[in-house]
Chains A and B, each alone.
Chain A
Amino acid sequence: GEDVEQSLFLSVREGDSSVINCTYTDSSSTYLYWYKQEPGAGLQLLTYIFSNMDMKQDQRLTVLLNKKDKHLSLRIADTQTGDSAIYFCAESLYGGATNKLIFGTGTLLAVQP
C-alpha cells in the first residue's frame, strides 16, 4: 500500500537540533526525499537518500534511514528561525516507468527564538 505518515507538529528552540520523523509502507521505494514548504511558497527539495543507504549528511541536515522498520528521519542541526516551515517526506515509487511521489502529511516545524 501507499501510505506515508509524519507527526503533525514539532516545536524547538533556536540553536537546538530538530528531528522530524516519517514512516512509509512500500518496501519497493527506491529513493526517499525531504521537501520544505514555507508559507505561500512551493516545495523546495532539501535532500534525498537512496534506499540502500543508512545515512546521508548534507551540511546541517542528516537523513537516517531504517529500511527494516521503514523509518526515515531528518535531523536539522543548530535550528534557526528561518527553518520554520512544513517539512514533507516523500517516497518514490517505481512502477510502469513512473516515479510518482507519495507524500507524507507534513510536519510543521516551529522554531522559537
Chain B
Amino acid sequence: DSGVTQTPKHLITATGQRVTLRCSPRSGDLSVYWYQQSLDQGLQFLIQYYNGEERAKGNILERFSAQQFPDLHSELNLSSLELGDSALYFCASSGSGRSDEQYFGPGTRLTVT
C-alpha cells in the first residue's frame, strides 16, 4: 500500500460526458501528479500540483483540468469525453525526500462508451 488513494476504482461513462477523478496523497506530501496510461500512448505525465498551485503541465488536453485543494487532495476533471480518453489514470505524490520519489495510487480505470 503506497498510501496514495484514488476514487473511484472504475468509471464507465458515455461520450460527451464529464467525470471527476479524486486523489488523496500520502500524508505530508505536498506534490500531486496525474498520469494517463493507455495502450497506444503508454504512461504519460499530465499535470503536477504543489501545495495548491499548478507546477507543470504535460500532454494534457484542454478538455481536462485539475486542481489541488487546501487539504492537498486533488481532482482531475475530464469533460466532453471521447472514446480515446478511455485509459487508466494514476495519481502520484511526492514529498521532501532527497530523491523526490513518486508513490502511485491504484489508479482509476475510465471506460468511455
Q: Verify A100–B104 contact, CB threshold 8 A.
A: no
Cβ of B25 < 8 Å from any Cβ of A? no
Q: Verify B55–A97 contact, CB threshold 8 A.
A: yes
Cβ of B28 < 8 Å from any Cβ of A? no
For the complex, count residues of B whose C-beta is within 8 A of A: 24
Name B8-50 residues within 8 Å CB distance of A.
33, 35, 42-45, 48, 50
Name B88-113 residues within 8 Å CB distance of A.
90, 92, 94, 99-107
Q: How far is the CB of B93 from chain A (nearest CB, A)?
A: 12
- The chain A residue with its CB closest to the CB of B9 is A40
Q: Verify B45–A101 contact, CB threshold 8 A.
A: yes
Q: Verify A42–B107 contact, CB threshold 8 A.
A: yes
Cβ of B77 < 8 Å from any Cβ of A? no
Residues of B within 8 A of A106 (CB): 42-43
Cβ of A102 < 8 Å from any Cβ of B? yes
For the complex, count residues of A whose C-beta is within 8 A of B: 22
Contact status of A45 and B45, CB under 8 A, knowing A98-B56, A100-B33: no
Cβ of B65 < 8 Å from any Cβ of A? no
Interface of A is mostly: strand
Q: Verify A44–B2 contact, CB threshold 8 A.
A: yes
Complex Cα gap A69–B58 (Å): 27
Complex Cα gap A6–B48 (Å): 25
Cβ of A103 < 8 Å from any Cβ of B? yes
Complex Cα gap A31–B99 (Å): 7
Q: How far is the CB of A88 from chain B (nearest CB, A)?
A: 7
Complex Cα gap A33–B48 (Å): 18
Residues of A within 8 A of B100 (CB): 31, 92, 99
9 A-B pairs with least C-beta separation? A98-B56, A103-B43, A43-B104, A42-B106, A100-B45, A42-B104, A99-B100, A98-B55, A42-B107
Q: Which residues of B contact A (CB under 8 A)?
A: 2, 33, 35, 42-45, 48, 50, 55-56, 58, 90, 92, 94, 99-107
Q: Which residues of A contact B (CB under 8 A)?
A: 31, 33, 35, 41-45, 48, 50, 88, 92, 96-103, 105-106
